[in-house]
């Protein structure tokens, strides 16, 4: 009898251990395959799982792998140039140190933006939004995120001035967490598609606020962890779209699909062909 009990105990422990390993793998490791067909796919900072984020190689990889849009982040330099970089400071992604706004374009161009990702990208440079547009406009959609507009006065006008050099803006979207900045972009040129990034602190979202946002924004974008089916349906009822971003958890992407989101902002888009791929973090 004792042997039978021990056998049952051993089997139970094995099952529990397997479940824990499975869950740990979901939470702590990159996902291996996610089906994204039918969704708008946005390469987050380019295909940033494969090349240094926000650099030409990352954007080129995103194009090669079939993304619908390239997402980039924009700050202003000391001399008022539109610089493609995510952080307020250059420290994390380059060999420099200090706020982006303390560097002129010439100084920023001297920084190495590739070695911190991989030695083979040594010497890769930060690019401007103008350079990105010249290289990729007409080949793929471009999603431009304005970072900290309050710290970059005049960035809205500069972005619109650049975009107005292009005849067709249907493939261009500008987004930000700063609702005021997005209203300003819309006022400057209503042909520019607008996306509002929602903070979790704004949830649950009221119908009145949703009416306000959808009066000028084509996309209302969420961290998928705060998404629910009701809010997606409300946005769709207003003939607008929902894009989501996520941390490294396949189940959250599946949740986005289940709730009917229109697209995913991700580090891997629809190309899960390599052994490991990861989804995006803001």
The pLDDT value given to residue 212:
97
**Residues in the chain with pLDDT values less than 50:** 1-34, 269-279
List, for residues 150-163, the tens digit of each pLDDT value: 999 999 999 999 99
Fold of the 31-266 domain: TIM Barrel (3.20.20)
The pLDDT value given to residue 282:
62
List, for residues 8-59, the tens digit of each pLDDT value: 444 433 433 333 333 333 233 333 344 556 789 899 999 998 999 999 999 9
Instruction: Say what the pTM is.
Output: 0.83
Of residues 44, 75, 186, 236, which has the active-site annotation? Answer: 44
The pLDDT value given to residue 52:
96
Q: Which residues pair with 83 in a beta bridge?
A: 75, 128
The pLDDT value given to residue 204:
83
In the residue annotation, 29 being an active-site residue is answered as: no
Of residues 75, 86, 186, 236, which has the active-site annotation? Answer: 86
Q: Measured over all CA atoms, what is the biggest interatomic distance in the chain, rounded to whole angstroms?
A: 83
The pLDDT value given to residue 110:
98
In the residue annotation, 236 being an active-site residue is answered as: no
Domain assignments of the chain as residue spans, ordered by start: 1-30, 31-266
């Amino acid at each position: 009898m004792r042997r039978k009990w021990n056998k049952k105990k051993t089997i139970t422990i094995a099952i529990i251990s397997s479940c824990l390993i499975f869950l740990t793998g979901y939470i702590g490791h990159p996902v291996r395959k996610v089906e994204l067909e039918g969704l708008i796919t946005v390469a987050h900072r380019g295909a940033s799982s494969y090349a240094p984020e926000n650099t030409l190689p990352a954007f080129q990889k995103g194009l090669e792998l079939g993304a619908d849009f390239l997402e980039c982040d924009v700050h202003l330099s000391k001399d008022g140039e539109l610089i493609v970089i995510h952080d307020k400071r250059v420290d994390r992604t380059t060999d420099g140190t200090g706020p982006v706004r303390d560097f002129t374009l010439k100084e920023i161009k001297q920084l190495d933006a590739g070695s911190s990702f991989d030695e083979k990208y040594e010497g890769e440079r930060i690019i401007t939004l103008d350079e990105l547009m010249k290289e990729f406009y007409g080949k793929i959609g471009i999603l431009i995120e304005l970072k900290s507009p309050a710290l970059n006065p005049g960035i809205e006008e500069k972005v619109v001035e650049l975009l107005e050099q292009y005849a067709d803006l249907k493939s261009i979207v500008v987004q930000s967490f700063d609702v005021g900045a997005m209203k300003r972009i819309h006022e400057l040129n209503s042909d520019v598609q607008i996306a509002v990034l929602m903070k979790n602190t704004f949830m649950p979202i009221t119908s009145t606020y949703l009416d306000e946002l959808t009066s000028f924004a084509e996309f209302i974008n969420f961290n998928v962890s705060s998404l629910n089916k009701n809010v997606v349906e409300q946005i769709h009822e207003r003939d607008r779209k929902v894009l989501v971003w996520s941390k490294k958890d396949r189940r959250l992407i599946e949740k986005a699909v289940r709730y009917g989101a229109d697209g995913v902002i991700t580090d891997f888009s629809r190309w899960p062909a390599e052994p490991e791929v990861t989804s995006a973090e803001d």
